[in-house]
Structures are given as C-alpha cells and as structure tokens.
Amino acid sequence: MTDPVEPTTTLSVARDGDGAMDMPVWLPDGGSGPALVLVQEIFGVGEWIRAVATELAVEGYVVGAPDLYWRLEPGFVASGDEEGMQAAFALAGRLDLPAAVGDVVAALDALDGHEAVVGYPGVLGYCLGGTLAWMAAAAGNPAVCVSYYGSGVPDALDELEAVHCPTLLHFGGDDPYIAREGVDRVAGAVEGQERIEVHVHEGAGHAFENDRAPQFHDPDAATRSRRLTLDFLGRHHTGG
C-alpha cells in the first residue's frame, strides 16, 4: 500500500444539533469523479485508512473518510500493536452504532454536495466500517456498497431486503472474529441475488488488507480482494 498523502480538504458535517463531524476528503488528479465514503476500522482514520483513500483517489475517486469517533474522542488514531488494539476495542465498544450509521448516511449526503462529485456516492468500509457500510446501505441509498470483514454483517441479515444497491462483501475464510458459520449464512442468504456478491478469501484472517498491521496482513488475499473491488467499482460505480 502506498504512503498516504494529506487530504485535499476537510468537510464539517453537521449532525442534528449534536455538533459536527470532520470528514477529510481526497480528490483525484482529474479534479472530479464518482465518490466513496470510506468508513474506518476500529483504529480510526489513521495511516491505513488514509493510504486507502490516497490509492482510491489515484484510481479516480473522490474519497471522504468521516471521523466516526467524533462524539467520543475526536481524531482518535490507534496503532495495530497490542496496546493500540486494546485502546481501539475499548473505544469501539462505546460507539453508539445507530448514531454511527446515521453519521455514515450524513457523510454520503455531505459528499454528494461537493462540487467535485459526479453522481451519488457509494460506501466502502473495513472491519467496524464493513458492518457500518452494510447498515448504511440499508438505511441510506448509496450508489454501491463494499464491505470488508464486517463482523456485524451475519447478525444484520434482516437488513437484506433494504439493501438495493450493488454490494460486494469480502470475508476471510479463517477470521477469528467472524465465525465461519456466520459467513456461510451470509453467502446462503444472498445466493441467487445478482446485486450482491460474496467473496470468501480462504486461509485469510481478519483485516487481511491492512499492511500496517503485519499480524493480520495477508498479501495474496489483499491483492486479490483489491483487484475484485476495483473491478466491481469499475462496473457499478462510474458516477453516471
């Protein structure tokens, strides 16, 4: 994964009298394009998420990465080591999930209002963000949804009928945080539905794309999943 570059700008997203959430935004070299709300892992909008945003901008997307911890600890970023993981798990455990889903939907609407954005934005999330991306796809109306190893997805299949956008779900076949039974349940529930794709990366664990957390990173699965994601976005999210 490339080194992250600084965002082009930061939007302030007003939230129902609660205050405002920061959302750094990266623009592609062409200045405009289809947009993605990039939903953070439990570690916050840190180096890894910023590197993903940088790479997606290189691919031609306008990318916004909202700070979903803004109510609890604005700007929180944790490392992938044991100490950082404990701090991240503790903060994620305090997150108001329905409010966070609302924040993602608000981020979609805010990014839609940016002059560089072509068409309505999609949503892409990792880990905690993978769960929130799925829930936001049900609660809002994103152009597309890409969810990586969302541990809450198997228990949120009641949202399935509300997800109308093209959706891509990635799971690791050996994820200690998501029971294989749950992954299989997701695959079975969406079988035969053309709008939803499920890819299980056998042998990969949790957070297999995150090369800033070497204990999780699986280079082969990361390369394969990134290729699948870019192909999916190229087919379904052109901003038209």
The domains found in the chain, sorted by start residue, are 9-236 (3.40.50.1820)
Neighbours of 47 (CB within 10 A): 17
How confident is the model at residue 212, as a pLDDT?
84
**What is the distance between the alpha carbons of residues 200 and 184, in angstroms, rounded to a whole number?**
9
Query: Token match 């570059």: residue?
Result: 5
pLDDT of residue 214: 82
Residue 85 phi/psi, 5-degree rounding, is: -65, -40
User: Which residue, among 93, 237, 57, has the nearest Cα to 165 in the 3D structure?
Assistant: 237
- E strand residue ranges, the chain: 9-14, 20-26, 35-39, 62-64, 122-126, 145-148, 167-172, 196-201
Contact by Cβ (8 Å): 24, 111 = no
Q: Note the pLDDT of residue 70.
A: 97
**Which positions of the chain have pLDDT values less than 70?**
1
State residue 193's pLDDT score: 87
- Residue 18's pLDDT is 76
C-alpha separations of 221 from 12, 55, 185, 198, 201 in Å: 35, 17, 21, 14, 6
Q: Computed over its alpha carbons, how large is the radius of gyration of the chain?
A: 16
Sign of the Cα pseudo-torsion (214, 218, 223, 229, in order): negative
Question: Which amino acid is residue 142, in one-letter code?
Answer: P
pTM passes above 0.95: yes
Burial (0-12, 13-18, 19+ Cβ within 10 Å), 194: exposed
Question: 11: number of CA atoms within 13 Å, CB side?
Answer: 24
Q: What is the pLDDT of residue 91?
A: 97
The encoded tokens of residue 207 equal 């957070």
- Distance separating alpha carbons of residues 85 and 98, to the nearest angstrom: 23
